[in-house]
Amino acid sequence: MIARRLAGLATVLVAGLAACQGGDSNRTDAPDADVPTPQRPPRGQTALEAWLAEGHYKSWKCETSIFPPRLTGNHGRQRICANDLLVGSTSGRYPVGAASVKELFDPADRPNGYAVGLKIEDSEGPQTWYWYERRGTDPRGKPKADGMALPDCAVCHQMAERDYVYVRPM
């Protein structure tokens, strides 16, 4: 398990170095990146924010309340919803298309952004997940994350007990 995590971290660092060299290989704004459905969010800020505004994820399995910061606390106050593929998977890697939406809240429980995870490849490692995070209430605000194998996301999520996912709503 430690070897797998170290290999994942090496992949993250290589991807991070490539991004720092001016590359934009982690961007997924291409219109054909995914075909969104109510069970599968699209990739890329414009398409994803429109999908989030439509509220598709609210029909998924969601936690019943807002939770205080947990684990590393990076996302602050939150409520997690997961699609059928993520909820239905009980062992091993998550299937391609498994997704979760984390609603983010400020200390007064007002909406304050989203964090989204989407399994995009049937293998192991941070490159198999698309991550998106935007804080604040403006859907056009600069996201903190929008791509695959992002070092800021992967460095925490690689410590999850199973395939980069910490919480699976029950």
pLDDT in tens, 62-80: 999 999 998 878 899 999 9
In this predicted structure, the answer to whether residue 93 has a pLDDT above a threshold of 60 is: yes
Q: What is the pLDDT of residue 18?
A: 35
- Distance (Å, whole) CA 101 – CA 51: 11
Q: pTM for the complete prediction?
A: 0.80
Q: What is the pLDDT of residue 61?
A: 98
In this predicted structure, the answer to whether residue 8 has a pLDDT above a threshold of 60 is: no
Mean pLDDT of 115-143: 97
**Per-residue pLDDT tens over the stretch 98-114:** 999 999 999 999 999 99
Q: What is the pLDDT of residue 141?
A: 97
Q: What is the pLDDT of residue 74?
A: 87
Mean pLDDT of 1-16: 41
Q: What mean pLDDT value characterizes the chain?
A: 84
Cα–Cα nearest to 167, from 82, 48, 73 = 82
In this predicted structure, the answer to whether residue 137 has a pLDDT above a threshold of 50 is: yes
Reduced 3-state DSSP string for the chain? CHHHHHHHHHHHHHHHHHHHCCCCCCCCCCCCCCCCECCECCCCHHHHHHHHHHCHHHHCEECCCCECCCCCCCCCEEEEEECHHHHHCCCCCCCCCCEEEEEEECCCCCEEEEEEEEECCCCCCHHHEEEEEEECCCCCCCCCEEEECCHHHHHHHCCCCECCECCCCC
- If one counts every other C-beta atom within 10 angstroms of the C-beta of residue 72, the result is 11
